[in-house]
Amino acid sequence: MRPLLLALLFPVVITAATPPAGTAAPGAPAAELSAVDAVILGVVEGVTEFLPVSSTGHLIIANHFLGLDRDTPLKGPAGETLWHKKPSPKNPQGEPLTLKLAADTYAVVIQAGAIAAVALLYWNSLLSMLNGLLGRDPAGRKLLVSVLTAFVPAAGLGLLAHGWIEAHLFSIGGVIAAQVAGAGLMFYAEAWRRRQTAPTVPAEITPARAMVIGALQCVALWPGTSRSMMTIVGGYFTGLDPRRSAEFSFLLGFVTLTAASVYKGLRSGGAMIDVFGWGNVILGAVVAAVTAAICVRFLVHWLTRHGLALFAWYRLALAAALAATVLLRK
């Protein structure tokens, strides 16, 4: 059943993965992330990070069906509890090391692959922004200001609410609701865009437009919503054409994903490596980079010609499939 469900959800051939162990051998990772699991998660991340379908939502789904969302505390070679945060006077219970903790961190850290894809495809824009920071490129400085303006709202809210979000919204039910709500917003945004009179000169990305896009990106902290979708829709509503909306979304994603990966890596990266080891973590990031580069090019081409409707229909189909799966498993 597990391979069939994954094959329906993601365009990749699935073979059965080795279930994670609860007790580590001396000197070995505390649980196993197989090469197959790493490739699946890398493909899911790369394909969905920049498409408006939610990479976090898809990774939550993938972790669930791969059995990587278990909260059972992991044990060391002598049967001792492994700790992410040891008990202390402030936290007598401590925080045991679990497979879910490592998998949630892995889902964020392999975004480094998607970051690398944007860096490769849009290095001219990133170099222009760097030169703008150094005072050598006025256009690059304007773009940098707009990107940072859009980045600040979600960064601030994410820092304040990350604990609550992880505790209450990282679930299959939350993803289903977000997929449906996002599809409705996309249908509305596409209809709204097509009613507008196309300007003779494409709109510029100003700090005011960037602030609106950044405010909408905050909604994407709800897993299943899609950061890419919210920023592209924000571009539509501020007068940007589909290509410019998508490309600004990619540059904003470069900054946002870099910050999220660094923050999550510093906070829980050590625990992730303790659980999974290094090899397949790197494998997943490499696979994510290759697939993300392909999907970025596809998205710009598709949006310019066809808009968002296809992705909205996909979101509804995915939500229906997930809801049916949940009901059948009860």
Distance between CA 272 and CA 275 in Å, rounded? 5
Does a structural domain hold residue 86? Answer: no
Q: What is the pLDDT of residue 165?
A: 82
Does a structural domain hold residue 20? Answer: no
Does a structural domain hold residue 19? Answer: no
Which residues are paired to 294 by β-bridges? Answer: none
Does a structural domain hold residue 201? Answer: yes
Place of tokens 């408006």: 52
Does a structural domain hold residue 80? Answer: no
Q: What is the pLDDT of residue 47?
A: 93
The per-residue pLDDT string of the chain (330 residues; one tens digit each, 9 = 90 and over) reads: 333 333 333 333 333 333 343 444 444 555 567 889 999 999 999 999 999 999 888 988 898 888 888 887 877 667 777 777 788 888 888 878 788 878 878 888 888 898 999 999 999 999 999 999 999 999 999 999 999 999 999 999 988 887 788 777 778 888 999 999 999 999 999 999 988 876 656 678 999 999 999 999 999 988 889 999 999 999 999 999 999 999 999 999 999 989 888 887 787 777 777 777 788 888 999 999 999 999 999 999 999 899 999 999 999 999 999 999 888 876
Does a structural domain hold residue 215? Answer: yes
Does a structural domain hold residue 23? Answer: no
What is each CA distance from 193 to 92, 154, 199, 312, in whole angstroms? 54, 25, 12, 15
Q: What is the pLDDT of residue 31?
A: 58
Q: What is the pLDDT of residue 312?
A: 96
Name the nearest CA neighbour of 30 among 65, 89, 92, 78: 78
Does a structural domain hold residue 292? Answer: yes
| Kind and range of the H or E run holding 45 | helix 35-48
Number of domains in the chain: 1
Domain that holds residue 264: 2-8+29-74+96-329
Residue 104's identity, in one-letter code, is D
Counts for the chain of helices (H) and strands (E), in that order: 13, 2
- Burial level of 29, CB count in 10 A (0-12/13-18/19+)? buried
Name the nearest CA neighbour of 267 among 159, 167, 164, 169: 159
